[in-house]
Amino acid sequence: MRLFRTQSAVSQAVRRLETDLRERLFDRTTRDARLTEAGRTLKDYAERVLAVADEAERAVRDLKDMKRGRVVIGANESGVEILIPLIERFRDKHPGVEFDVKRSASRLLGADVLAASLDFGVVTFSPGEKGLKTVVLGSDELVVLSHPKHPFARRRTVTMAEFGRETVIAHSDPSPARERVLRRFEERGLPLNVRVSLPSLDGVKRAGGARHGCRPSPRRCALSEIEAGRLAATLLPELRRPRRAASRLPVGRQLRATPPTPSSIS
């Protein structure tokens, strides 16, 4: 083995080790200076330490090259719908990277990202916390979902007044989008006939397939049902405001790679 050190430098290093350990590492009574039992024991441990150091270096290099690693993302139910195709496309190029998507309330995502309990948070509004950077992932819009035989299904648009008089099935989990809808109805002095509140978007979506009742929803959350004709989507222009789904991360944190740019998801 080449150490790229002079013989005297190696001998001095060995003597220092023997002094520190108070043990002879080489049997110098033989011509080839064989290792003693203490020397063989130290050699075994030294090889294990070097192997671990090499493994650590490879692990760090793999993280840098995105051959491995774990990304923790916070999102609500509608945010998950946007994330799934992006994660699939990212993992096509980096299959060793793991993704852990945690269901989180939108209003808490900004603080969780700043506290480093999440790497990214997916939201459809601008959180109030300072120090966050935004990466736009796509856009969506609010529509009214109903059964294909519901009167709304034959119409392209409905008014807030018409929608408010129907039996409304709502998502009970507080969110900025939900608060915006409630606030708009209150500002207009219009009733909102919420008869059923459910804790999950999937449950609300399935209940929205009943012949009686309709619900406001991001279009993205029901694309497959709309395309299959199991649900109808009607525009509500007075509430129509494109929602930009964005990933939030602390200012200064850089993406390790740029995922494929998504097309519009409206």
Cα–Cα distance measured from residue 255 to residue 233, given in angstroms and rounded to the nearest whole number: 36
Q: Which two tokens stand for residue 117?
A: 């309990």
Question: Is the C-alpha dihedral spanning 122, 128, 133, 138 positive or negative?
Answer: positive
Nearest to 204 by CA among 74, 75, 77, 81: 77
Q: pTM of this prediction?
A: 0.56
User: What's the average pLDDT block by block, 10 residues per block, for the chain (266 residues)?
Assistant: 73 85 84 84 88 77 70 84 86 87 84 88 79 80 89 93 90 78 91 85 69 81 88 88 58 43 29
Helices in 166-213 by DSSP H: which ranges?
Answer: 176-188, 201-207
- Give me the residue label for tokens 């130290």: 42
Nearest to 175 by CA among 73, 72, 77: 77
Q: Are 146 and 184 in contact (CB under 8 A)?
A: no
Cα separation values, 235 from 38, 150, 195, 225, 264, Å:
81, 14, 21, 16, 17
* Contact residues for 121 (Cβ-Cβ < 8 A; gap 6+): 73, 74, 75, 104, 109, 110, 112, 113, 247, 248, 249
Q: For residues 246-258, b (16+ Cβ closer than 10 Å) or e, as one string?
A: bbbbeeeeeeeee
